[in-house]
């Protein structure tokens, strides 16, 4: 039975304080009673002494000489006098020792009670303060998040409207960067504060409060032991030797002997027993990062150019605090050891004092250990985040991906028959400030010098691109014309292309509004090296500097030297652009025709073929994770060729904005087409649309592609009302796909129950969606489950409800819809069977009405 496990509750704490007050009152009553007893004993001793004196005044006549009775009486009177002296002596001993000790005990108990209350208030207020700080930091987080979203919107608006230059754009960008920096720093402070709060709450519940209660119990039990010794001294010194008093004394001693400190608070503890406090859960509020463009993740530190120095300083600060904490622990430990070397006296008071000192040291050590554990958790969190950083490149914290950045400013001076470019030294702080004040503009393509000769021992055969032409590293080209220059291709795409040690390519990235060239190499993993600019305006890694980036890459390739000694990465094979990687300059945007999840959609023209195409653009401010999802549609479409699947022409990643170029389907969205043409569409045309969709989905099924977002809004209408499946942003190329990142942005009313309930997707989920698509087609653009919200629709579906057929829907077609909406996926037809049914219905319709 212990305080630490059973008295953590508020009621138990108040009861413990009340118990201490009651014990103090008991001590006061005991002092009053003992003083009264001592006065009585002294009065009694005086009376006995007077009585003995009177008893000795007997007749000394010879008549009583030799009388045994007289001798006995005389002896009795003498012993009565001795008893009087003994009683007075014992009273003096009780007053000078036991009563003084009792007064000391009373004072010590008052002091301990006060210390316990103050300590309990201190750690409780510390916990309350930390909880309030979490709430305050969350409010601050929300404030900076709102500022960040406001400045991001302003920046995107001015950038789209105002182009790539101007003072206003610079001012808005500066404010946007500041808001972004504040948000990221506040995010990290919030994460660390949560980490601190979690550890402190755990320590409060499992160490600090139990430690305080354990310490208090030890003190209380030590007082009880002292209390017992006082009572024993009083009982022993006030013991009267008559049979009557001896019997009374025996009963008192039996009662006193029954006192056991360990049992003192047994009934009390049992009466006020409470369960240990429930853990207070500090959980990251994920709503804070929902609109942070994917840069900030719950319970994860953000490591980028905006926060990396702050994190490193914080790590240094925490490590220094750990060291100071350990020194304090050493001092406390050594202090206790020195106390234990005090000469071994048997004095109980000394032993008790040493015991109390030990308990105090133990409590302080517990607090230091809790502080150390909290700091170690934060250090582990920071080190993990810093270790996950790439070996060379610190990511940008600001999600601005403008490619027209001021990498350098050209100052042309005529010299002879040509001009010379003076590169801006970015190491010069004042020049850097001046550069950032100027409008963004794209770095000029560096000239392409003749490459140095190859070093012996390297492979002589040059790798070839998909078209069969060699990827040359010695021809006189500009950097942007090299096949191994991939523009602003996102890092995830780069990782996919580099598969064998020595594979490399060159790309561009944006860090803190500065366009930088990156050499990406596969070497025991994927490493990314930022091309460094020297004071003279040359380019280098760790070796010699070269006047152009292209010449630097050629030198690095031909020399066979590692890019950096730390990485050991050697360039073996340049990886060319894939066939479907187009140049942004080959696409002319004509007019905006729509807006997608990642950016605007344009009607455009290809310069080479004059072909009119559709172009999806990706907003420049989107983070790399979103660009990866944007390009996923292109990766899937590039391998498909079917009349009912929208055709991919290429992807532009040479510069921002990233674009997906597809065939232009003139009829636009099937949903819009159905609603606009509802009055003129015949049943046969609707049936044919269902057949086109089934043909496209049958093709995807054969390729193990799960679309996951099949709906009328994601289908396009081409010439002769031909339907094409589009929008593959959610698609997955696998037989079965399990969602692991939540069910956000899922089209609830088009999604099969097993996908909604368990996150499990197969092609049979698309069959369910196809049934909804057919319902949309025959309802001529109607809204599924109209009048129901998503939650209500899910409940109705799970209970067996299925939408009724819309007007003029053929019975056979509605029966097919119902088969597509079978609750168990194994009871649904596959797309091969769906296509056969719809084809049969179409043929029957043509035979009847044509």
**Contact, 691 vs 839, CB < 8 A?**
yes
The predicted structure's pLDDT at residue 743: 52
Q: Is cis: bond before 657, omega within 30 of 0?
A: yes
The predicted structure's pLDDT at residue 781: 94
**Helix (H) and strand (E) counts for the chain?**
22, 20
CA dist 222 → 261, 290, 366 (Å): 8, 57, 21
One domain for residues 700 and 785: yes
The predicted structure's pLDDT at residue 139: 94
Catalytic positions, please?
709
| Global pTM value | 0.45
One domain for residues 122 and 149: yes
One domain for residues 312 and 337: yes
Domain contains 647 = yes
Domain contains 394 = no
Domain contains 426 = yes
One domain for residues 295 and 311: no
One domain for residues 653 and 516: no
In angstroms, the CA 821 to CA 827 distance is 9
Both tokens assigned to 431: 């020049």
Domain contains 413 = no
Axis crossing angle, helix 763-778 with helix 683-702, rounded to the nearest 10: 170
One domain for residues 339 and 254: no
CATH number of 98's domain: 1.20.1270.60
Instruction: Give the residue numbers of the binding site for ATP.
Output: 593-601, 616
By residue count, the chain amounts to 850
One domain for residues 495 and 521: yes
CATH number of 728's domain: 1.10.510.10
One domain for residues 768 and 642: no
Number of domains the chain is built from: 5
Across the chain, which has 850 residues, the per-10-residue mean pLDDT values are 80 89 91 91 90 77 63 76 84 88 90 89 89 92 92 85 74 90 92 90 86 87 89 80 64 73 72 75 80 73 80 88 86 66 51 60 81 88 70 50 33 33 35 35 33 35 39 65 84 85 90 79 91 88 90 92 91 89 88 86 90 91 78 81 92 86 91 92 93 96 92 93 88 68 73 90 95 96 93 92 93 96 95 95 83
One domain for residues 74 and 171: yes
**Contact, 543 vs 590, CB < 8 A?**
no
Residues 228, 231, 235, 237, CA torsion sign? positive
Instruction: Give the residue numbers of the binding site.
Output: 593-601, 616
Domain contains 411 = no
**Contact, 19 vs 7, CB < 8 A?**
no
Last residue of a domain, one of 506, 538, 566: 566
One domain for residues 262 and 365: no
Which residue matches tokens 């193990």?
A: 704
One domain for residues 206 and 239: yes
Three-class secondary structure of residue 659 per DSSP: strand
In angstroms, the CA 558 to CA 468 distance is 22
Last residue of a domain, one of 302, 324, 358: 302
Domain contains 623 = yes
Domain contains 44 = yes
Please give the full DSSP string across 469-528, using - where no structure is assigned.
Answer: -B--SSS---GGGSTTB-TT--HHHHHHH--STTEEEEEEEEETTEEEEEEEEESSSEEE
Strand partners, 504: 521, 574
In angstroms, the CA 145 to CA 452 distance is 52
| Full residue range of the structural domain in which residue 343 is found | 303-389
In angstroms, the CA 251 to CA 131 distance is 56
The predicted structure's pLDDT at residue 727: 86
In angstroms, the CA 369 to CA 375 distance is 10
Last residue of a domain, one of 534, 566, 598: 566
The predicted structure's pLDDT at residue 265: 67
**Contact, 750 vs 726, CB < 8 A?**
no
774, HSE (Cβ side, Cα atoms, 13 Å):
34
In angstroms, the CA 450 to CA 476 distance is 6
CA dist 552 → 257, 392, 545, 564, 571 (Å): 93, 17, 7, 13, 12
Domain contains 512 = yes
Q: How many CB atoms lie within 10 A of CB 445?
A: 15
One domain for residues 709 and 769: yes
The predicted structure's pLDDT at residue 348: 58
**Contact, 725 vs 693, CB < 8 A?**
yes
CATH number of 633's domain: 3.30.200.20
Closest by CA to 288, choosing from 141, 164, 424, 186, is: 141
């Amino acid at each position: 039975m212990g305080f630490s496990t059973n008295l953590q509750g508020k009621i138990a704490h108040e009861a413990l304080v009340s118990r201490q007050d009651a014990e103090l009152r008991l001590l006061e009553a005991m002092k009053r009673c003992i003083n009264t007893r001592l006065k009585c004993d002294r009065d009694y001793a005086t009376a006995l002494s007077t009585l003995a004196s009177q008893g000795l005044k007997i007749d000394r006549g010879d008549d009583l000489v030799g009388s045994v009775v007289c001798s006995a009486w005389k002896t009795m009177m003498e012993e009565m006098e001795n008893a009087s002296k003994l009683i007075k002596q014992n009273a003096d001993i009780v007053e000078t020792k036991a009563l003084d000790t009792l007064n000391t005990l009373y004072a010590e108990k008052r002091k301990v009670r006060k210390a316990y209350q103050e300590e309990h208030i201190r750690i409780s207020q510390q916990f309350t303060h930390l909880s309030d700080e979490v709430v305050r930091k969350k409010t601050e987080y929300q404030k900076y998040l709102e500022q960040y979203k406001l400045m991001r919107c302003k920046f995107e608006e001015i950038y789209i409207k105002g182009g790539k230059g101007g003072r206003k754009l610079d001012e808005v960008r500066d404010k946007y960067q500041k808001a972004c920096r504040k948000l990221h720093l506040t995010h990290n402070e919030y994460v660390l504060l949560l980490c601190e709060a979690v550890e402190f709450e755990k320590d409060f519940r499992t160490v600090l409060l139990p430690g305080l209660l354990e310490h208090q119990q030890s003190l209380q039990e030590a007082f009880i032991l002292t209390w017992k010794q006082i009572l024993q001294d009083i009982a022993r010194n006030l013991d009267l030797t008559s049979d009557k008093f001896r019997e009374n004394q025996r009963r008192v001693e039996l009662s006193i002997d029954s006192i056991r400190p360990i049992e003192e608070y047994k009934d009390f503890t049992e009466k006020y027993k409470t369960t240990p406090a429930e853990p207070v859960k500090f959980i990251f509020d994920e709503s804070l990062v929902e609109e942070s463009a994917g840069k900030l993740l719950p319970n994860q530190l953000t490591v980028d150019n905006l926060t990396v120095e702050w994190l490193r300083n914080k790590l240094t600060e925490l490590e220094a605090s750990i060291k100071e904490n350990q020194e304090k622990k050493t001092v406390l430990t050594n202090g206790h050891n020195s106390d234990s070397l005090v000469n071994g006296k048997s004095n109980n008071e000394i032993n008790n004092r040493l015991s109390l000192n030990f308990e105090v040291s133990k409590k302080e050590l517990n607090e230091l250990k809790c502080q150390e554990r909290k700091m170690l958790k934060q250090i582990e969190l920071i080190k993990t985040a810093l270790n996950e950083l790439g070996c060379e490149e610190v990511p940008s914290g600001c999600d601005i991906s403008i490619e027209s950045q001021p990498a350098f400013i050209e100052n042309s001076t005529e010299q002879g028959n040509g001009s010379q470019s003076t590169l801006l030294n970015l190491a010069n702080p004042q020049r850097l400030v001046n550069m950032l004040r100027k409008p963004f503009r794209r770095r000029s393509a560096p000239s392409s010098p003749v490459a140095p000769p190859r070093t012996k021992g390297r492979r002589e055969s040059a790798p070839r691109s998909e078209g069969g032409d060699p990827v040359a590293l010695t021809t006189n080209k500009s950097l942007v014309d090299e096949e191994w220059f991939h523009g602003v291709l996102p890092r995830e795409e780069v990782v996919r292309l580099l598969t064998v040690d020595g594979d490399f390519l060159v790309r561009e990235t944006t860090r803190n509004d500065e366009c930088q060239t990156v050499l990406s190499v596969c070497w025991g993993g994927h490493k990314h090296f930022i091309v460094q600019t020297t004071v003279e305006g040359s380019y280098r890694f760790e070796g010699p500097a070269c006047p152009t980036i292209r010449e630097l890459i050629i030198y690095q390739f031909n020399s066979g030297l590692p890019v950096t000694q730390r990485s050991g990465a050697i360039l073996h094979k340049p990886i060319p652009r894939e066939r479907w990687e187009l140049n942004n300059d080959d696409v002319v945007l004509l007019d905006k025709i729509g807006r997608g999840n990642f950016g605007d959609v344009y009607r455009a023209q290809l310069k080479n073929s004059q072909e009119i195409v559709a172009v999806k653009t990706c907003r420049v401010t989107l983070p790399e994770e979103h660009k990866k999802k944007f390009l996923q549609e292109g990766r899937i479409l590039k391998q498909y060729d079917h009349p009912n699947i929208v055709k991919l022409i290429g992807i532009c990643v040479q510069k921002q904005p990233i674009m997906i170029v597809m065939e232009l389907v003139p009829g636009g969205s099937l949903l819009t087409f159905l609603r606009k043409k509802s009055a003129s569409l015949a049943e046969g045309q609707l049936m044919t649309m269902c057949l086109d969709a089934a043909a496209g989905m049958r093709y995807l099924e054969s390729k193990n592609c799960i679309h996951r977002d099949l709906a009328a809004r994601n289908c396009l209408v081409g010439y002769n009302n031909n339907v094409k499946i589009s929008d593959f942003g959610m698609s997955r190329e696998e037989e079965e796909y399990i969602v692991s990142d939540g069910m956000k942005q899922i089209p609830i009313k088009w999604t099969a129950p097993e996908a909604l309930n368990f996150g499990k997707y197969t092609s049979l989920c698309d069959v369910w969606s196809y049934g909804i698509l057919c319902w949309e087609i025959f309802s001529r653009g109607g809204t599924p489950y109209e009048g129901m919200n998503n939650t209500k629709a899910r409940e109705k579906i799970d209970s067996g409800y299925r939408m009724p057929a819309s007007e003029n829907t053929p019975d056979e077609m509605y029966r097919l819809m119902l088969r597509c909406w079978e609750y168990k996926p194994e009871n649904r037809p596959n797309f091969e069977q769906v296509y056969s049914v719809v084809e049969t219905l179409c043929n029957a319709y043509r035979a009847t009405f044509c």
